[in-house]
Structure 1
């Protein structure tokens, strides 16, 4: 069992600071130098520029890269085959300095896989790391032996074949490391990438597509400014927000509509985003399109969540600069309107209706909490740490269930979020009230604050076998905040 000290270093939960104080430890503020204003006290532009300038010079000095789309190594009439090496790589995060990361095919973030509904994908992942690892398709409706179960590991020098039938609607998924006890560190070191499913119905809506459909992966890190080395620190002390692997990049856009697929791939950070002078229109969530576009003044994305936005730059003159701001970090991305372009895309008034909710036949309670006993620190679900040999829930295939998921960590105010493998769910209510704006649509991950509870409804279809559900603050999962369900006939 990991020590309490290492838990507090990994989890970074805001109110675990009370426990740190109790043990004579104090989190270092995420500021560049002692005596500086805390980030939340600085004006947005100063916050972003202050963090970046101490590390990299001028903010917005590098272009935001778009993750490379992976090409199949071979195809058949119904299947695309891919080969991906999981290996260490040296990448440039700070200009002029290389950083050693874990990567998929040497890419940081990993390459994007674009799949189609109804067309199977098979990926052979070869592990060239010195450590065991595996891969979970987050949000994927996949057979149990391809889900990336936390104990189904790939040994160094070995490989594993994963099969993704893609029997789900178009949506923004992602793949990442998921070995139990190592998931937080390996994802932090760089094992993450997009997996985008497209379908004909979505294509016929004529949302922005091609080079105007841009995946954006957000995460926060700490780096040694002299060596460029990743620092495995308290996540509260990870002041650099990366946008597709770069701190404070710029992105050149045409004066037309774009679709941005945002993913929060951080361990624990929650990002609240605004675009002053710009309009954010949400069209999708974790599990695909919303019933209709929703204009948002801000969006909040917890770890593991995705949100699809459409931004129309056509109302801005050439030369305009727009800043995507994060509530704590300030400006994290600059959009530069640099050119005109034809635009035959649309933003329809109606997108995709949500499926009907079948009657639920089972109701369950799930509580996320910590045992903070200094001699036995553990993450718990319903009072128990993860045991891969124990089945916590047995679920009959085809049934619909309602789960009330609660955060029991009130004393220290620890934030959790909940991820359920295999299925997408609907949020029925939050604390007995209608779902929040960020709960809309089909979900697979949802934040739950201290003392909060969320009711979810899901239907378990197609596949049999063992799957997990857990807190997607990955350090919490590493400490045992995970449980197992078994789908049976």
Structure 2
């Protein structure tokens, strides 16, 4: 078992194959402090060292996460083994960064799954702190959802079973150990889980080498390459990373590509745009395909949101360099280097997955985000997270409308809401019907200051306790989370 003091110093042992080269590592340890009372996390409260210089853009290629190979293939399931362990990776060119990994890979390996075929993952924790794995966006039994206190204790293994009884979607898995999830995810405990189904395959969207997972994060680096983590320090996390590298480049053929965009940052909102406002065609959101393609010039993603877009690079002559940028910061995210045209049998049909009619709602609930000046923190319905308290009791089979209010005035902080277990439909924002990009299934929704967003979900079969929370993880780690129980 790896001790905390061994976590973050470069060691001499080599790790396994990874998307970004990694080494096993040791460490000096980090400080711990409490805020609010009773909540502990491992992070420095201040940083007085020298920050790393901003790296030059477009000097490194975009790495792609490795595909995780099954340890066993059963008649009705694929079985995987994953070990959570520290490593050292080159994130900034020429510097070594201590990270936390699933299986030695930064970012974690991609699991590919098929609707109706189970996936079983044996997760072993070699850290000296508890972890929990949440498959974000998945419809799973409560025992396998990664409830924040259902820990994989140090030196132990926990088995998660995923039935995959839902439509194709870009899902992702990440740590959810309260009150450590913010730091664990920030340091690298995240990976893609790509669920496919026959209906989606029949649409002939770009696939294989032309289907690219893109994970967006941000970070604050010390000049030795180490990550600086201070809770609620998002304003200083000024280096944008794409699949773990700063502003990489990707050679692309002159044809259509599917880009699976995931905002895996703790706090940041990305507003993505191709140079010149060139067209992006969104085909899917968090929970899968939209009813119809949604052409747009801009994709906005709050933390944990996903958008699958198709870009047709055949529109550009060979030699074109097309930059995808975050317009909120003006920083480049990724450069596409267009090469010659190749045969392209893919297409974007006018109908993707028609939305099912919404059943009538049986219950309406209010979820209010507010700042409690006495507690000095953000709350949901006036409370901080208590894993032993059930905040909402929901009858199995019921359909509910949740009215999500961001009442953080006068501070005026944007939040978002992630609901475990279900995919919901966004109904409206301040009474205005949801736009084309929010017509599909969602599990995370942004809520601006002063805004009320209504969503509707049906709680079908699984019983037990789940959580809903702000997915700005620095907020949820400090208690902006609540429990619902399906009975």
1:285-337 CA distance string (max 9 Å, x none): 00100011111010100001000000000111111100001011422211001
1:77-116 CA distance string (max 9 Å, x none): 1100000011101100112211000011111110110000
Find the counterpart in structure 2 of residue 153 from structure 1. Answer: 151
Find the counterpart in structure 2 of residue 47 from structure 1. Answer: none
Inter-partner Cα distance in structure 1 for 2:47 and 2:372: 20
Structure 1 contact 4–372 (Cα < 8 Å) conserved: no
Structure with the largest fraction of strand: 2
Inter-partner Cα distance in structure 2 for 1:341 and 1:67: 24
Equivalent position SS for 1:111 = strand
Inter-partner Cα distance in structure 2 for 1:73 and 1:26: 43
Inter-partner Cα distance in structure 1 for 2:475 and 2:436: 26
Find the counterpart in structure 1 of residue 57 from structure 2. Answer: 59
Equivalent position SS for 1:254 = strand
The total of aligned residue pairs comes to 448
Inter-partner Cα distance in structure 2 for 1:480 and 1:4: 9
More off after superposition, 380-389 vs 148-157: 380-389
Q: How does 1:51-450 map to 2 (within 5 A)?
A: 54-56=53-55, 58-225=56-223, 227-233=224-230, 234-277=233-276, 278-327=278-327, 328-373=329-374, 376-450=375-449
CA-CA distance at 1:344 after TM superposition: 0.8
Find the counterpart in structure 2 of residue 454 from structure 1. Answer: 453
Q: Which has the higher contact order (CA 8 A, sep 6+)?
A: 1
Structure with the largest fraction of helix: 1
Structure 2 contact 42–180 (Cα < 8 Å) conserved: no
Structure 1 contact 122–163 (Cα < 8 Å) conserved: yes
TM-score (norm 2): 0.88
Distance 1:330 1:243, change over 3 A: same
Inter-partner Cα distance in structure 2 for 1:315 and 1:379: 47
- After TM superposition, where is structure 1 displaced by more than 6 Å over at least 4 residues in a row? 25-28
Structure 2 contact 137–286 (Cα < 8 Å) conserved: yes
1:199-250 CA distance string (max 9 Å, x none): 000000000000101100000001112x100011311111100000000100
Equivalent position SS for 2:209 = helix
Find the counterpart in structure 2 of residue 3 from structure 1. Answer: 35
Inter-partner Cα distance in structure 1 for 2:305 and 2:317: 33
Structure 2 contact 35–478 (Cα < 8 Å) conserved: no
